[in-house]
Amino acid sequence: MSNSGLAYPLRSLSLFAAVLALFVLWGIADLPLAWAGLITAAILVSTAWVVLARSMLIRRMVQRGDAVLQTLNADTADLTGNTRTNMPLLLIMGDGLPLLFSDDKSKVLASVRDGAIWVRVDHLKDLAPLALTLTRWRQGKSPDALVLSLAPAVHADQAALIQELRLIRQSCNDVWRKLGTRLPGYLAVYQRMTPLNSEKQDATPADWHSVSSDVALDVHTAAVAFEALMLAEESCTQRAHGQKEIVWRTSSLYPLIQWTRDTALSTLQDPHSAESPWPLHGAAWIDLGPHSSARSPWQHHLRHSSGLSVPAYPASTGRWPFPRPLITALPRRLWLSPAVRACAHAVVILAAAWALASWCAARNNHKLLAQAEQDLARFVRTPAANDAARRDALKALTADRDRLERYQRTGIPLHLSVGMYRGATVLPLLDTAIASYQPPAPPPLIVTLDSMSLFASGQASLKPGSTRALVAALDLIKANPGKHILVAGHTDNVGSTASNLRLSILRASAVRDWLTEAAGLASSRFAIQGYGDSRPIADNQTEDGRAINRRVEITLVPDLSGA
């Protein structure tokens, strides 16, 4: 499908595509800022280049094609816009163009005859610009075919003719590249083959001998089609009962077809050429043409292949006919107006943007769920004993849960939407994990009393006035009535281990007895323990260390039995 018609809104589509690309990039893609900025710059530069290049092309085409359009409009004044589009339009180049388009000396650019619009191309350099101008003139529809008019009698040099055919092939390739489509090609050969009826002013369509196909013919398939044409002509000759004109024409037509195949077609479809081969869809020959020259390549071929030598007939008078039989075999091409094509392309661009947005949103949702699953797995793997790490994992879970709840409450963000959001599926799992967290039991309350303030050295009886040191422990016990009280005695390492153990038990019992009486609690809520010198908390090699190790510890623990 060609976009070469100036009516095609390429600039608008480019801007539309750029807007969609930027929307997906900044709204959904969620790329790093550096990458997003780099891609944005590339999009803006590319779009600006397309718009600028298109604007310059339109300006250049308008300036170059205005004069051509004026001439076209004058030559086809009776055609409406729909007729321009629906009627076949063929570019015809080569030999005899003045005789094809006008009876007088005036130059006519276009002619509406034989059910088609025929446009002449006098110079090969004008072929591509004229094709683009005609596409603009037809509201975006390119020409339907290229026709090469070939009059063998006017060519005196075989090498020059072959070179001209190569230039024609090169120019046609240039047209196809600029239009974006390969136009079917046709050959129309004008050559006097009979000496009779030389005064005839014009030929009728019945005088054409043609082959055509809706698919391109290569050298081999064209040879088969040409052979079939010759068999049909020989059949007509047998039925002519000796009519000299028909017999002579048939005798000349076969070498003419051979010459067309060996000279014109072989050059236009040479597989060794760098250019694409001419897409031949048909060829036609007519017993009409210019003055025959005995030195022409055609006459040389005729003498070499058949031994015939056609007399130098005078040129045909009157206007030459267009090859109408070829028009009936034009391949049908689906053509859509520029507006319809632009709408179709806009839908394709929109679908591509939607697909890209969906992929980006799916990727972002995958990252969101992967992060939540990673935080959930970390929380589950962290042992309850490591409460600090477990609290960090719980904090991450809570942040994930709060984010998902905010999305449900205020709306799903754009970069997660486009029908790809899956956060609601993981939210119950996060809630369950967060609810399963149980903080560790608080550490027991411990009051440490200095034994020297309570007891004399080596003694287990409370010293007078020692109750002042026990007041803090008594207040703590009264503030926590639901807890058990463990009283543990500790000594330094002076003396034997047994005596130290016994002393620590006696000192613990003395403190317990005082607390029991002072707090008014049952003795069953108390427990005593003597550790002697087995649990030092300082160095027993120094006096200060030994003083620290001589202590009584009162520990409050929860009453798990509920007593």
User: What are the pLDDT digits (tens) for 406-429?
Assistant: 988 888 888 888 888 888 888 899
- Pairwise pLDDT comparison (491 vs 336), residue with the higher score: 491
Which of 223, 191, 228 has the alpha carbon at shortest distance from 310?
A: 191
Q: Can you name the residues that pair with 189 across neighbouring β-strands? A: 150, 285
pLDDT value at residue 149: 95
pLDDT value at residue 195: 66
Q: Can you name the residues that pair with 198 across neighbouring β-strands? A: none
Maximum CA extent, the chain: 163
> What mean pLDDT is reported for the chain?
84
pLDDT value at residue 2: 42
Check pLDDT > 50 for residue 206.
Answer: no
**Tokens (6 digits) for 135:** 């596409």
Q: Cα separation of 196 and 198, whole Å?
A: 5
pLDDT value at residue 312: 64
Q: Cα separation of 124 and 139, whole Å?
A: 24
Alpha-carbon 258 to chain mean position: 51
Confidence bin at 243 (pLDDT 50/70/90): low
- Per-residue pLDDT reduced to its tens digit, 535-551: 999 998 998 888 888 89
Q: Which domains does the chain have, with CATH numbers?
A: 76-335 (no CATH), 357-435 (no CATH), 445-558 (3.30.1330.60)
Task: Determine which helix (DSSP H) or strand (DSSP E) holds 246, and give its type and residue range.
Answer: helix 244-259
Are the beta carbons of 199 and 313 closer than 8 angstroms? no
Which alpha helices (H) appear in 316-466, and where do they start and end? 324-327, 338-381, 387-410, 423-435, 451-454
pLDDT value at residue 95: 92
Amino acid at site 417: S
Check pLDDT > 90 for residue 46.
Answer: yes
Q: Cα separation of 149 and 100, whole Å?
A: 9
pLDDT value at residue 146: 95
Q: What is the bridge-based pairing of β-strands 445-450 and 551-558?
A: antiparallel
User: pLDDT > 90: what percent of the chain?
Assistant: 28
- Per-residue pLDDT reduced to its tens digit, 482-534: 788 899 999 988 888 999 899 999 988 988 888 888 878 888 888 999 999 99
- Pairwise pLDDT comparison (333 vs 277), residue with the higher score: 277
C-alpha angle 75/79/82, rounded to 5°? 140
pLDDT value at residue 473: 83
Q: Cα separation of 491 and 328, whole Å?
A: 123
Distances from the Cα of 185 to the Cαs of 128, 365, 540, in angstroms?
15, 56, 114
List, in order, residues 6 or more apart from 517 with CB less than 8 Å away.
none
pLDDT value at residue 293: 66
Which of 487, 422, 411, 402 has the alpha carbon at shortest distance from 449?
A: 487
pLDDT value at residue 212: 87
DSSP assignments along 104-164, one per residue: SS---SEEEETTEEEEEESSGGGHHHHHHHHHHHTTTPPPSEEEEEE-GGG---HHHHHHH
Are the beta carbons of 257 and 230 closer than 8 angstroms? yes
Q: Cα separation of 266 and 271, whole Å?
A: 9
Residue count of the chain: 563
- Per-residue pLDDT reduced to its tens digit, 85-136: 888 999 999 998 988 887 655 678 888 888 899 999 999 998 988 888 888 8
- Per-residue pLDDT reduced to its tens digit, 11-27: 899 999 999 999 999 98
CA-based torsion, 428, 433, 436, 437: positive or negative: negative
- Pairwise pLDDT comparison (57 vs 499), residue with the higher score: 499
Check pLDDT > 70 for residue 389.
Answer: yes
Confidence bin at 347 (pLDDT 50/70/90): very high
- Pairwise pLDDT comparison (247 vs 322), residue with the higher score: 322
Confidence bin at 256 (pLDDT 50/70/90): confident
Q: Cα separation of 168 and 504, whole Å?
A: 120
Amino acid at site 326: L
**Tokens (6 digits) for 199:** 């005064």
Amino acid at site 289: G
Burial 423-439 (b: 16+ CB within 10 A, else e): beebbeebeebeeeeee
Unique residue bearing structure tokens 């005839």 = 200
Distances from the Cα of 444 to the Cαs of 481, 516, 553, 559, in angstroms?
14, 20, 12, 11
Q: Cα separation of 456 and 318, whole Å?
A: 150
Which of 478, 469, 467 has the alpha carbon at shortest distance from 445?
A: 478
Are the beta carbons of 498 and 463 closer than 8 angstroms? no
Check pLDDT > 60 for residue 437.
Answer: yes
Q: Cα separation of 242 and 117, whole Å?
A: 40
Alpha-carbon 272 to chain mean position: 37
Q: Cα separation of 398 and 405, whole Å?
A: 10
Check pLDDT > 70 for residue 561.
Answer: no
Candidate from 133-137, 151-155, 301-305, 306-310 with smallest mean pLDDT = 306-310
Mean pLDDT of the 284-296 span: 79
Q: What is the bridge-based pairing of β-strands 209-217 and 280-287?
A: antiparallel
- Per-residue pLDDT reduced to its tens digit, 438-487: 888 777 788 888 888 888 888 888 888 787 888 888 888 888 887 888 99
pLDDT value at residue 240: 54
Are the beta carbons of 364 and 423 closer than 8 angstroms? no
**Tokens (6 digits) for 232:** 């049909």
Amino acid at site 4: S
Q: Cα separation of 541 and 492, whole Å?
A: 10
